[in-house]
C-alpha cells in the first residue's frame, strides 16, 4: 500500500498531535500520521535557525504531553549517540538528507552498544522512530543543509550521551537555540 503524503501547516500539525494526545497518543497512530504528512515549507520557515558550530535545536511547541522541535543541520554536523530516557522520539526529515543509526545498550559497565541495523540515509519524508538510542548526522557527502522535525512524547531536559571510544555515558542538560521562532536571548 502506497502512502500518500500531504502537506500541513505547523498549526494543523499541532492540532492533530493534540487530538492524538487526547486519544491516548498511541504509537501506531502517531507514527502513521507522521508518515502521511510533511510541513508546508513556508509554515516551517519561522522556526528555522542554523548554527555554524553545531546543529541547532529550535523549539516549536511544548506542553506536558509532547514537544516539537525543528533541528537544523549544516553540512557535516552530527548529534552524538544519545538516549531519550524512555521517552518516545520520532525524527522526520523535512529537507535534505540525514543518516540515522539506532542502537540498544547491551551493558553499562563496560559500556557496550549494539547497532540495531545498518545506518540508513533518509531523504524528505523519511521517519525514524520511535527511537530510544540513536545517532543522527548530515554527512559531508550529502552536500546540503538539512532540517528534521523531532517529536518527543513528553518533554525532557536532560539526556545521556554515549562516548564509545572513552567507554562512558554522561548525562547532559539540553537547551534550545530558538523558542517559538525567536532567539532564546530575546525571550523575556
- Supply the CATH number for residue 69's domain: 2.60.120.10
Say if 19 falls within a structural domain: no
Joined grid coordinates for residue 136 = 543522527
Residue 153, pLDDT > 60, answer yes
Say if 57 falls within a structural domain: yes
Q: How many other C-beta atoms are found inside a 10 Å radius of the C-beta of residue 156? A: 14
φ, ψ (nearest 5 deg) of residue 22: -60, -25
How many structural domains compose the chain?
Answer: 1
CA 171, CA 162: separation in Å to the nearest integer? 9
Say if 109 falls within a structural domain: yes
Say if 141 falls within a structural domain: yes
Given this model, what pLDDT does residue 1 score? 45
Residue 170, pLDDT > 90, answer yes
Say if 39 falls within a structural domain: no
pLDDT, one tens digit per residue, over 175-188 is 999 999 998 875 54
Q: What angle do CA 71, 72, 73 make, to 5 degrees?
A: 120
Q: In which domain, by residue range, is 116 found?
A: 47-181
pLDDT, one tens digit per residue, over 35-79 is 999 999 999 999 999 999 999 999 999 999 999 999 999 999 999
Say if 173 falls within a structural domain: yes
Say if 31 falls within a structural domain: no
Amino acid at each position: 500500500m502506497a502512502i500518500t503524503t500531504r502537506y500541513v501547516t505547523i498549526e494543523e500539525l499541532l492540532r492533530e498531535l493534540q487530538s492524538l494526545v487526547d486519544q491516548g497518543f498511541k504509537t501506531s497512530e502517531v507514527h502513521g500520521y507522521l508518515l502521511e504528512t510533511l510541513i508546508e515549507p513556508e509554515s516551517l520557515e519561522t522556526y528555522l535557525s542554523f548554527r555554524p558550530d553545531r546543529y541547532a535545536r529550535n523549539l516549536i511547541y511544548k506542553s506536558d504531553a509532547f514537544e516539537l522541535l525543528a533541528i537544523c543541520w549544516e553540512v557535516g554536523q552530527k548529534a552524538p549517540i544519545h538516549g531519550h530516557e524512555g521517552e518516545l522520539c520520532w525524527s522526520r526529515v523535512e529537507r535534505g538528507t540525514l543518516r540515522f543509526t539506532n542502537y540498544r545498550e547491551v551493558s553499562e559497565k563496560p559500556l557496550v552498544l549494539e547497532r540495531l541495523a545498518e545506518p540508513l540515509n533518509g531523504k524528505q519524508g523519511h521517519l525514524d522512530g520511535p527511537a530510544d538510542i540513536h545517532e543522527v548526522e548530515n554527512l559531508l557527502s550529502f552536500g546540503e543543509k538539512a532540517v528534521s522535525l523531532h517529536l518527543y512524547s513528553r518533554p525532557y531536559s536532560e539526556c545521556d550521551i554515549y562516548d564509545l571510544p572513552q567507554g562512558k555515558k554522561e548525562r547532559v542538560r539540553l537547551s534550545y537555540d530558538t523558542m517559538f521562532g525567536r532567539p532564546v536571548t530575546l525571550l523575556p
